[in-house]
Amino acid sequence: MRLEFVRLRRIMKMHNGYLTEQYENGYTPNPDILCNKYIKFDHFFNFACNKLQADAIATGHYVRTSFGSYLEHFKPDTNVSLFQARDAEKDQTFFLCQVPQQALRYSMFPLGEYLKKDVKQIAWKAGLDKVALKRESRGICFVGKRNFQNFISKYISDKPGDFVDLDDGRVVGKHMGFHHWTIGQNIKISGFPAAYYVYKKDINTNNIIVVKGTHNSALYSELIITETPYWISSEPEFNSFSRLLNCDLRFQHRDPLVSCTVHKNLKNQLIIQLSQPLRAITEGQFVTLYNGEECLGSAVISYCGPSYYSLNQEVKMDHYRGNNETQKRIADASI
């Protein structure tokens, strides 16, 4: 097609800033969401529109917008809304939950109305055999197939510490730094009757607290507190009397939606009460909120808990422990 190929290099700046700082402090950010926010739909978008004089950009994300796949419903005086793809299994709204409104307004998503199997059929008919046979890409954005621990170690120095059992306080192993581990991860230490999983990172002692068993009650919680949320189109309407919003939440890309009740406190934080406990809710990660098929927006998790372990409760997925009055008192208190 004789199209010019332009390569933009923006990775080093991203690593040396926010991501590196978050990993060093024990948090686990989401590189894919941040890559879309700061690189694809910021740096790349502005380069295409300002340098190349493009009217819009197009990507292969499986999402839909209120402006249509090709901006056929574009309205200059209206904000655009983000919707789940027709193919629910391939939906990528989770990864676009922080995309700036200005970039989203001028973005086309041709695959949003198609099923993945139909896209492969189109590729076959067009003679694009390699594209049709290409395996799914599940690597972390800008890391790809490389080992993540080896990759991140190039940017963050190791800081050894102990793995400490939550129940009895004994040291069960050594770790080489917070950045190698995330909440809920199997630490894979042999010699014990049960596998250990990461429960908490203690920034003061540089120890990682671990628990026995992948479904340990310490790994489950149904209360989330976030930083200031980002609303994609506009802030949804909270109930004027209760100050609550009923919607659905997703914590990880392929996880099913979980119904929740959201309260916004005086600090503009979100206090989210889940209808059922979730495993390994991780500070620094994002939660996305949905109303039906619309992705309303997202926020970074700043705190989760208390865990079922601290409440001395067993994990029962159909058990709902919501209490709006308690939630409001927590919400307006200093956190």
> Could you tell me if 17 and 111 lie in one domain?
yes
> Could you tell me if 117 and 200 lie in one domain?
no
Based on C-alpha coordinates, what's the Rg of the chain?
22
> Could you tell me if 48 and 81 lie in one domain?
yes
Q: Which of these three, 172, 196, 214, is where a domain ends?
A: 214
Residue 152 lies in a domain: no
pLDDT of residue 129: 86
Residue pair 273/327 in contact (Cβ under 8 Å)? The answer is yes
Q: With a cut of 70, list the residues of the chain below it in pLDDT.
A: 1, 8-17, 137-146, 317-335
| Whole-angstrom distance, CA of residue 5 vs CA of residue 299 | 35
Residue 93 lies in a domain: yes
> Could you tell me if 170 and 259 lie in one domain?
no
pLDDT of residue 57: 98
Residue 300 lies in a domain: yes
Q: Is 35 a catalytic residue?
A: yes
β-pairing verdict for 207-212 and 196-202: antiparallel
> Could you tell me if 92 and 122 lie in one domain?
yes
**Catalytic residue from among 35, 97, 260, 304:** 35
pLDDT of residue 21: 83
Q: Which of these three, 191, 214, 237, is where a domain ends?
A: 214
Q: Which of these three, 214, 235, 250, is where a domain ends?
A: 214
Number of domains the chain is built from: 3
Name the nearest CA neighbour of 134 among 114, 115, 119, 112.
119
Residue 205 lies in a domain: yes
Prediction pTM value: 0.88
Q: The domain that contains 163 carries what CATH number?
A: 2.30.30.280
pLDDT of residue 105: 98
Residue 153 lies in a domain: no
> Could you tell me if 120 and 14 lie in one domain?
yes
Give, as one character, the DSSP assignment of residue 226. Answer: E
> Could you tell me if 16 and 80 lie in one domain?
yes
Residue 192 lies in a domain: yes
Backbone angles phi, psi at 250, to 5 degrees: -130, 130
Residue 292 lies in a domain: yes
Q: Is 141 a catalytic residue?
A: yes
> Could you tell me if 171 and 233 lie in one domain?
no
Q: Which range of residues forms the domain containing residue 197?
A: 159-214
Residue at 60: amino acid letter: G
| Whole-angstrom distance, CA of residue 57 vs CA of residue 184 | 38
pLDDT of residue 156: 86
> Could you tell me if 14 and 122 lie in one domain?
yes
pLDDT of residue 13: 60
**Catalytic residue from among 141, 260, 295, 304:** 141
> Could you tell me if 14 and 108 lie in one domain?
yes
Helix (H) or strand (E) holding 319: none
> Could you tell me if 75 and 167 lie in one domain?
no
Residue 138 lies in a domain: no
Q: The domain that contains 29 carries what CATH number?
A: 3.40.50.620
| Whole-angstrom distance, CA of residue 291 vs CA of residue 99 | 18
| Whole-angstrom distance, CA of residue 212 vs CA of residue 198 | 9
> Could you tell me if 78 and 163 lie in one domain?
no
Q: Is the peptide bond before 277 cis (omega within 30 degrees of 0)?
A: no
